[in-house]
Amino acid sequence: MSILDDIVAAKRKRLERGEYGPVAKPAPRGDGASFVASLSEPGVRIVAEIKGRSPSAGEILPGADGRVETMALAYRRGHAAALSVVIEEDFFCGRPDWLPRAKRIAGLPALMKDFIVSERQLDFAVSLGADAVLLIARVLSDEELARLASAARDRSLATVVETHDAEEIRRAAGFRPDVLGVNARDLSTFETSLEALAALGPCLPAGPVHLAESGIRTVADVTRLRQAGFHAFLVGESLLRHEQPEELLRELRS
């Protein structure tokens, strides 16, 4: 089994235990249209991520639970377009309450980043105040992807359908995502290649926002991917490890 298989298996076990019911005190309801609109504005649009660790990099943000608000404030001051908050517990050490905490401080639309396989998780996202949810093409069959994308729209959640190769891009385009993400990181091996990501530019369909994900560290990376056809850029590890994430955000946006 790949790491991705392990993550999804753990997620299904949590669902079987009855987890991911709507929270007792729901956050203010999100707005998927605001997420898409923010990523569609002119200029370099950065989706700034909060996560504690990853299977490939290990710990990324030491003491993450105590630093959620600090990072959210830095992202607001650095003029990020949106937040991405990784809430997956078992492999990324995330926590669901990070999303409403970060959104309250940043005042930015927020993507709930998790491994979604059930509509129950969409209701959970709504109760957390998420504006958008991540649907990973490699995890879902065509039937599942169609059902979850439709269910997300019914809940006014924007859909970010994540892909990794040309075939997944072709599949995802058929489900009318609001945002089509292409991840430089192969979630089966967790290896990253910006070269492979840029090479997929000609495969990007007209319509959705094109979001480049993972491995973006410098202005040169952003420039190269913009030239390949990407509109927005999800940046996590480089911001989280930086001593002054606000300044790095400003630099990437320049």
Active site (catalytic) residues: 49, 51, 113, 162, 183, 213-214
- Is there a contact between 50 and 98 (Cβ–Cβ < 8 Å)? yes
Closest CA relative to residue 136, chosen from 206, 189, 183: 183
How far are the Cα atoms of 116, 121, 146, 162 from residue 173, in angstroms, in the given order? 18, 23, 11, 11
DSSP of 152-187: HHHTT-EEEEEE-SHHHHHHHHTT--SEEEEESB-T
Q: What is the C-alpha separation between 33 and 40, in angstroms, rounded?
A: 10
C-alpha closest to that of 35 among 209, 183, 240, 182: 209
Hey, what's the torsion of the CAs at 1, 92, 176, 216, to 10 degrees? -100
Torsion of CA 12, 15, 20, 21, to 10 degrees: 160
Please name the residue ranges forming H helices in the chain.
Answer: 3-16, 32-40, 68-77, 98-106, 119-128, 142-154, 166-173, 194-199, 219-227, 237-241, 245-253
User: Coil, helix or strand for 101?
Assistant: helix
